[in-house]
Amino acid sequence: MHCTGKWKEAFLEEGMDKMNNPIYVTRPFLPPREEYDHYLDQIWQSGVITNAGPLHNQLEEQLRKYLNVPYAMLFTNGHLSLEFLIQAAGLTGEVITTPFTFASTVHAIVRNGLTPVFCDISEDDYTMDTSKIEELITDKTSAILPVHVYGNPCDVESIRKIARKHSLKVIYDAAHAFGEEVNGIGIGNYGDGSIFSFHATKVFQTIEGGAAVVKDMETGYKLYQLKNFGITGETTISSIGANAKMNEFQAAMGLCNLKHVEELITGRRNIVQRYEENLKDVAGIRLNRRKENIKYNYAYFPVLVEEGFGADRDKVCEVLNKEQIYPRKYFYPLINHCRCYRERFDPGLTPVAEYISDNIITLPLYPQLSMEDVDRICELLKACR
């Protein structure tokens, strides 16, 4: 068994396998019921269900330690943590970002009244191509906002050097990078701040949820205010904030899941290894190249279906869908090509991102997935040729 423990048995007993269910790109991990019930009892006793309650505060502190960062602020979802982090960091004008991401990244920039400038990505790991950043910098640029897409850490050292040379801020969208380390350092320590997503589809989930992590107390305090309407005292409102607080039910889920997260990451790693064994020598299939000195979280398993394969990405999806297997085309279409952006902002020249977006597929990956299903998915994929 690739992932052990009581929860795995409970999952199987509850009949997920028996039901001959469709296989989705991911499934959330749900902790054993008694573990969640334990926290529900506490909520019923305290009568506090939101507004920085005791479970919220416990989770915030535990996550700060787990992520090994100076300050961590919980949010009701990852997207709002990014919107507010951009606001708290005081970005202005243009922000250089990647088009190869989920809509949230660019929405957060634009919803702050800023202009996204799209930088192409690297063929190796699909993160921002740092050799193309400097040519996009203008006198209006205030920041670089790269994404550790699929949990592939960006070239953080090159980004740091460019940012320092041009006095730019760096905010990382680390929605996919929960618990990762680069050179032994928690990934949230790079740049001026980062955000993580704890959505149901993520490595660590709090139903919906997210966190912004920062190095300085001043920005941390701004975030703390902004997510609660800018309120700083019973009769004081100091800034124009909104409502983005994580509630106690979400925090309870997080407290349960944090205890299992290392085991879940190991389970994911075993699935990824099985995929790699099955697919590594298949002509026309390109797998994600991993770097040294990274602690990965195995958030996604992207596969590039190239010309030499004999069938295209859409055909692979079609064949798998017929068998009730639902991989996803993350991230297609590219954000700079979406209707809401293409008529408003310069889409830039991002040919590598276009190519990757047109040919990538992310295969099902979650710790509860059986090795037999991984093998079956690979056989079906290979048979598309």
Q: Which residues would be at the binding site for ligand T4K (CB under 6 A)?
A: 24-28, 77-79, 101-102, 104-105, 147, 173, 175-176, 197, 199-201, 210, 326, 330
**Token pair in block for residue 20:** 């001959």
Give the residue with the Cβ less far from ligand T4K, 271 or 309.
271
> Which residue of the chain is nearest ligand T4K when measured via CB?
78
Q: Which helix (H) or strand (E) holds 117?
A: strand 115-118
Q: How far is the CB of 199 from ligand T4K (least distance, A)?
A: 3
Give the residue with the Cβ less far from ligand T4K, 79 or 227.
79
Q: How far is the CB of 149 from ligand T4K (least distance, A)?
A: 7
Give the residue with the Cβ less far from ligand T4K, 126 or 275.
126
Give the residue with the Cβ less far from ligand T4K, 97 or 219.
97
CA distance 154 to 82: 17
Give the residue with the Cβ less far from ligand T4K, 196 or 275.
196
Q: How far is the CB of 147 from ligand T4K (least distance, A)?
A: 5
Q: How far is the CB of 307 from ligand T4K (least distance, A)?
A: 27
DSSP for 215-252?
Answer: SSHHHHHHHHHHTBTTEEETTEE-S---B----HHHHH
- Residue 333, preceding peptide bond in cis (omega within 30° of 0): yes
- How far is CA 72 from its chain centroid? 16
Q: How far is the CB of 185 from ligand T4K (least distance, A)?
A: 21
CA distance 324 to 22: 5
DSSP for 172-224?
Answer: EE-TT-TT-EETTEEGGGSSSEEEEE--TTSSS--SS-EEEEESSHHHHHHHH
Give the residue with the Cβ less far from ligand T4K, 199 or 286.
199
CA distance 76 to 50: 11
Q: How far is the CB of 332 from ligand T4K (least distance, A)?
A: 11
DSSP β-bridge partners for residue 383? none
Q: Is 103 left (phi over 0), alpha (psi -120 to 50) or beta?
A: alpha
